[in-house]
Amino acid sequence: MTRGGAAVAAWMAGLALCAWQLAHTRFVADLSSFLPAEPTPEQRLLVDQLRDGAVSRLVMIGIEGKDAEARARWSRALAAKLRADRHFATVANGAEAAFEAEREVLLAHRYVLSPNVDPERFTVQGLRAAIDETLGLLASPAGMALKALVPRDPTGELLAIIERLRRDEAPAKVAGVWASPDGERAILLARTRASGSDTDAQAAALAALERTFAEVAPGGEARLLASGPGIFSVKARAMVEGDVKRLTGIGTGLVVILLLVVYRSPRALLLGLVPVASGALAGVAAVSFGFGVVHGITLGFGTALIGEAVDYSIYLFVQTANRQLWPTIRLGVLTSIAGFSALLFSGLPGLVQLGVYAITGIVVAATVTRFVLPSLLPKDFRIRDVTGLGVRIGGIADAIRRFRWGVAFVVAAAVAVLALNANAPFNHELTSLNPIPARDRQVDSELRAALGASDARHVVAVRAPTSEAALEAAQRVGLRLDPLIAAGKLGGYDSPARLLPTAATQRARQASLPDGATLRARLREALDGLPLRPERLEPFIADVVRARSAPLLTREAVAGTAFETALEGMLFRGSGGEWTALIGIRPAAGGTSARADIAAVREAVAQSGVPGALVVDLKREVDRLYADYFQRALWASVGGFVVIVGLLFAALRSPARVARVLLPLLLGVLVVAAFHLASGTRLTLLHLVGLLLVVAIGSNYALFFDRIALGADSVAPRTLASLVLANLTTVAGFGILSFSSVPVLQSIGSTVALGAFVTLVLAAALSPRA
Amino acid sequence: MKAARLLAAAAACLVLDAAAFDVGSLFAMLARERPPRAQFAEKKYMALLDKPLEASGELAFTPPHTIEKRTLKPRPERVVVDRERVTLERGGKTHTLSLREHPQVAVLVESIRATLAGDLDALSRTYSVGLEGDERSWRLRMRPLDPALTALVDRIEIAGSGALVKVVEIHQSDGDRSVMTLAPVAR
């Protein structure tokens, strides 16, 4: 077998392997891949919550249209139907009846839940004080509602529990159901059974919601709004999938048309696409092999890879007589790898995928072009001579060269724009990667605010190997926080240990309950002189006796109630198998200046002696989530740039030539960055990576101009033609991504497309005449 | 003859008087006069308790929307109703609720507030209103129209003299009742 034959055989075997891997690949399109892979402990909490936490299951629903009565009717009907729907675990709309289940649970378990239950409470003095307090309440305006419960609960334990669970920011109610503050929207809060990261199940739940709403409310009259992390995942996936199908098709079509126009030969076109197809296949297979799944965004990046990798076969076909061809392409491949490597070090799995895909694709495409494609070419293969085209392009290049002052003007303008934006050129925020339109995010934050689900800004997180130990730790932290409430340093806190006290606490409370005879005797003494006769309180005695030996309150006992939802968000098992208890800190009331003394909270948490307890500022963590990764991307880009310069130096061995090659690239970067800032886009880490790619890809063109300038290229017009064709395919491949609604693709696409074009023009303008 | 004429005139006056004093004229009078700050004494009779619960304090109405009920005995408590907002201060804690969210409480509050303000339209929206007596001694009897409220409250009776409200009685459907007597405080 010849060397070429061996290469073809190896190539075919490789393709078969890749195809096999591809057949076993799972494709995903949700955005959790773009959450950090190596978070800090604080970020881990946030990332787990966003991905699988109770928060991720919430669906916030708004109903608009007609009048308040109609909206309330739709809200009730929708809630009733959704409660029966298998996709939803709980549905709340504020209607009183919906809380019957919660009240029953609290009432049944009040003696293990109430913080007031201790031996002191059931002495003669304790009973008298508690009952006296209850009589006082009966005299107050609240008396009418409490009266019925007095025979069962004369010490007011239910009220004590509700008092602690009550949240001031409960949603407003109109016509008996939750409504937005302006009353124009009915509001519901549902929770899906499936985890937020199960996008298929979330999509099914959303479909069920829409179908059900159409059944209960007439179209045209009523409008449904739905939001939440799961819904966002569903929408993001639909956008990614739509974009990938549409843009890949258009991008590929554009490249094919370009090649056809120049080659005017379907055979040349097909052969030219062989390396690209091999590269794309190998790239997907490599990602699948390395990550287990392939993200839709990675596939969407394929069009950029096509535009980039097709360059090699263009150079091969057009510059057949160029002896310097392979070293130049090799250098181009190496600089491109250096460029895409910045993605590998980004720390975000989705971007690492892009890097692996692009690098594998380029290496394979170049290798196939070098070792396989020549063997596949028929003996008589020859594309149409493009020398004429090259000569015309040379004329354009000369014209550009004569307008160097224009270049100077553009660069000066770019520098001015950069200087004006020097204070805030970068965007570190999570939303910079979020494809959900601003309008949808607005609805989300409105619904969130209406529900008071705007979540505690600060939480205390404790971890333990078991659920019970986590509760115990939460209880210890709570004991330290209680004095801060009394001191007005915080408004309160929401601890899972209140909803579900530790077994030890529950047993201690049970143990402080007297037996029936003792209680009866003490009551007789305690009620002396009060208007309440002991005989009226037999239901109380019966309840206490029952509570003494009742099974402890468990998670199962609250299943199907709002407490289950609440507990899920406060006590859960993390991805590492450990249990986490979250204590939400509520600021002290004080109107708009409501705040909690977080320094005091930190101190209290430290004093509690719970190992590894964290006080997390969620807002700050969300804001900062990408700041660190941005820094990383910045350093990775600088590193990639240094490597590219090193590669150029090794190849050219002349500082002057390196400088000549680099100058148009750096100016191109300036112009593209200025373009983004001038159009109101602050640079994200993807723009940074894009700028590095501008240097990497642009260096290919600059190198050719360098050789032409040195007179080292004997076929300059054809080289020029191939350069422009290669440039156009790159601009088409990346440029089409700038129409994507997915920010990851849009930022890289627009940056590289514009940058590739600008650097080519600059390289032409700045190159000396041959 | 003279006496007979006098008697007839007196009778006519009486008839005229009685005809003139209806719900409309009572409320017009209530609307004209701003009720004075009053001391209240309240008794709540409950089947559950052997003796009524007693409370006393001050009640002030600032037309047209604000009622403040300050209880001094047996323990301090303050309830303020201002438009849609009810604030309850008790034992160092403050609770607020919106009447919009608690329509049944709203209806109860409205019975007293609308009477004090002389707002018959507001009252008639939620109650059937009957009147007994004359200007010197009248008694309004209100029955809720909403069946949901009827389950809780049978009727509310407000008695007074002239533009002064003297007694507010709330008769609950289960037989319990509260009686609040008011005595104006000299301003």
Angstrom distance (rounded) from CA A193 to CA A240: 25
Confidence of residue A296 (pLDDT cuts 50, 70, 90): confident
Nearest Cα to A450, choosing from A440, A442, A458?
A: A442
Angstrom distance (rounded) from CA A723 to CA A90: 61
Find chain B residues with C-beta within 8 A of A176's C-beta.
103
Q: pTM of this prediction?
A: 0.72
Question: Residue A630: phi, psi to the nearest 5?
Answer: -65, -45
Q: Put residue A347 in one of left, alpha, beta given phi > 0 → left and psi -120 to 50 → alpha.
A: left
A143–chain B Cβ distance below 8 A for any pair: yes
Angstrom distance (rounded) from CA B156 to CA B146: 14
A167–chain B Cβ distance below 8 A for any pair: no
Q: Give the start-to-end residue ranges of the domains of chain A.
A: 3-24+233-428+626-766, 57-94+191-227, 97-170+505-546
Integer angstrom CA distances of residue B104 from A76, A103, B144, B146 = 19, 20, 10, 9
Whether A281 shows a pLDDT value over 90: the answer reads yes
Nearest Cα to A141, choosing from B92, B77, B150, B98?
A: B77
Q: Which residue of B has its CA nearest to A142?
A: B88
Q: Of A140, A147, A183, which is closest to B77 when you measure between CB atoms?
A: A140
Find chain B residues with C-beta within 8 A of A147's C-beta.
46, 48, 176
**CB spacing of B103 vs A138 below 8 angstroms:** no
Q: Give the start-to-end residue ranges of the domains of chain B.
A: 22-184
- For the four alpha carbons of A499, A504, A507 and A511, in that order, the dihedral sign comes to negative
Q: Which residues of A408-431 are buried (b: 16+ CB within 10 A; e: fewer)?
A: eebbeebeebbeebeeebbbbbbe
Contact A401, A312 (CB under 8 A): no
Find chain A residues with C-beta within 8 A of B71's C-beta.
139-140
Q: What is the DSSP letter of A550?
A: S
Per-residue pLDDT of B14-69, as tens digits, reads 444 545 678 888 888 888 888 788 899 999 999 888 889 888 999 888 877 888 98
**CB spacing of B100 vs A172 below 8 angstroms:** yes
Per-residue pLDDT of A10-28, as tens digits, reads 999 999 999 999 888 888 8
Beta strand spans in A605-730 (E): 614-617
What pLDDT is attached to residue A166?
Answer: 67
Confidence of residue B4 (pLDDT cuts 50, 70, 90): low
Instruction: Using the structure block, give the residue that is written with the tokens 């956008």.
Output: A239
Angstrom distance (rounded) from CA A489 to CA A601: 9
**CB spacing of B53 vs A531 below 8 angstroms:** yes
**Which one of 3.40.50.720, 3.20.20.70, 2.50.20.10, 2.30.130.60 gives the CATH number of domain B22-184?**
2.50.20.10
Confidence of residue A621 (pLDDT cuts 50, 70, 90): confident
Confidence of residue A93 (pLDDT cuts 50, 70, 90): confident
Per-residue pLDDT of A582-601, as tens digits, reads 888 877 765 444 466 788 88
Angstrom distance (rounded) from CA A599 to CA A458: 11
Query: CA A274, A277, A280: angle at the middle one, nearest 5?
Result: 145
**CB spacing of B53 vs A139 below 8 angstroms:** yes
What pLDDT is attached to residue A14?
Answer: 92
- Which of A314-318, A507-511, B85-89 holds the top average pLDDT? A507-511
Q: Give yes or no for a cis peptide into B64 (omega within 30° of 0).
A: yes
Contact B59, B116 (CB under 8 A): no
Contact B45, B178 (CB under 8 A): yes
Angstrom distance (rounded) from CA A188 to CA A90: 11
Contacts (Cβ under 8 Å, ≥6 apart) of A90? A83, A190, A191, A560, A561, A562, A564, A565
Angstrom distance (rounded) from CA A474 to CA A463: 9
Tokens of A66: 């007609």
Residue A344: other Cβ atoms inside 10 A: 18
Q: What is the nearest CA distance from A139 to chain B, expressed in angstroms?
A: 6
ipTM above 0.95, yes or no: no
Q: What string of DSSP letters covers B38-58?
A: EEEEEEEE-TT-SS-EEEEEE
Integer angstrom CA distances of residue A143 from A99, A148, A149, A247 = 20, 9, 10, 67
Share of chain A above pLDDT 70, in %: 94
What pLDDT is attached to residue A401?
Answer: 83
A139–chain B Cβ distance below 8 A for any pair: yes
Q: Which residue of A has its CA nearest to B153?
A: A144
Angstrom distance (rounded) from CA A180 to CA A62: 8
A2 vs A739, which has greater pLDDT?
Answer: A739
What pLDDT is attached to residue A381?
Answer: 80
